[in-house]
Amino acid sequence: MDKVNEGKNGYIITASDWPSFLYDLDLFNGDDQMKGLMRGPLLLKVYHHIFMGPSSALSGHRSATKPCIAHLHGLMEVTGRTIAYVAVQAQFALSSMVVRLFESDPEQPWVIDTLRWWNTNVPELQSEPKQKRKQRALSEELGDRSNDAVEEVLQQWKAQETKEMSSPRSQSPDAVLYPPSFTLKASSITHKAFLFTL
């Protein structure tokens, strides 16, 4: 843990490393990863909360009058699978809390400052990815024809709209322009069916 806390180069945390909440940090030994593993105080509290009831999470003793989840399901002893279940629930809860912390008030000064710190310390994200550079270069080379194509269609629609507005056919009060080459007349609407006329 000292290597991580001191930020020494070369110590990389990966998904295959055990999360610290699984450990009793008073017992942790970097040379013996089994010491304190699966004995973390948070893990124990979450276990009590899920299987024995919320009241036992802080005290370690049940005070409820109803049967606990463990007894309802016939669980008479802790198993590796129940510890794994609790670990997943704790990890999910921690992840959800972090998301909520950042998204509940994005304009909060702490959120802005923390995200600025992260962006400063992960500068690679601020450089344009290779694929994006290729797309931009291709777009510049082609003169951004995709936007030209959209612009051309919009201009055709506008011309068609102008043409139809000036024609006597569009002067009726119930005529509605629906894409420019079609006219939808209110009198053409029949029971849940729309009839389009050219």
User: 3-class secondary structure for the chain?
Assistant: CHHHHHCCCCCCCCCCCCCHHHECCCCCECCECCCCECCCHHHHHHHHHHHHCCHHHHHCCCCCCCCCHHHHCCCCCCCHHHHHHHHHHHHHHHHHHHHHHHHCCCCCHHHHHHHHHHHHHCHHHHCCCHHHHHHHHHHHHCCCHHHHHHHHHHHHHHHHHHHHHHCHHHHCCCEEEECCCEEEEHHHCECCECCCEC
pLDDT by residue (tens digit) across 150-198? 677 778 878 888 888 877 655 555 444 444 444 444 444 443 344 444 3
Q: ∠ CA 185-186-191 to the nearest 5 degrees?
A: 120
- The token duo for 173 is 């009060």
| pLDDT for 108 | 93
The structure's pTM equals 0.52
Compute the distance between CA of residue 53 and CA of residue 55 in angstroms, rounded to an integer: 6
Residue numbers of the chain with a pLDDT score lower than 50: 174-198
| pLDDT for 110 | 92
Query: Given the DSSP bridges, would you call strands 175-178 and 182-185 parallel, antiparallel or unpaired?
Result: antiparallel
| pLDDT for 146 | 52
- Is residue 58 a contact partner of residue 45, using CB atoms and an 8 Å limit? yes
Alpha-carbon distance values, 24 to 32, 41, 43, 108, 121 (Å) = 13, 6, 9, 34, 30
| CA dihedral of residues 64, 70, 73, 77 (deg, nearest 10) | -140
Q: ∠ CA 88-73-62 to the nearest 5 degrees?
A: 80
| pLDDT for 82 | 94
Compute the distance between CA of residue 10 and CA of residue 119 in angstroms, rounded to an integer: 21
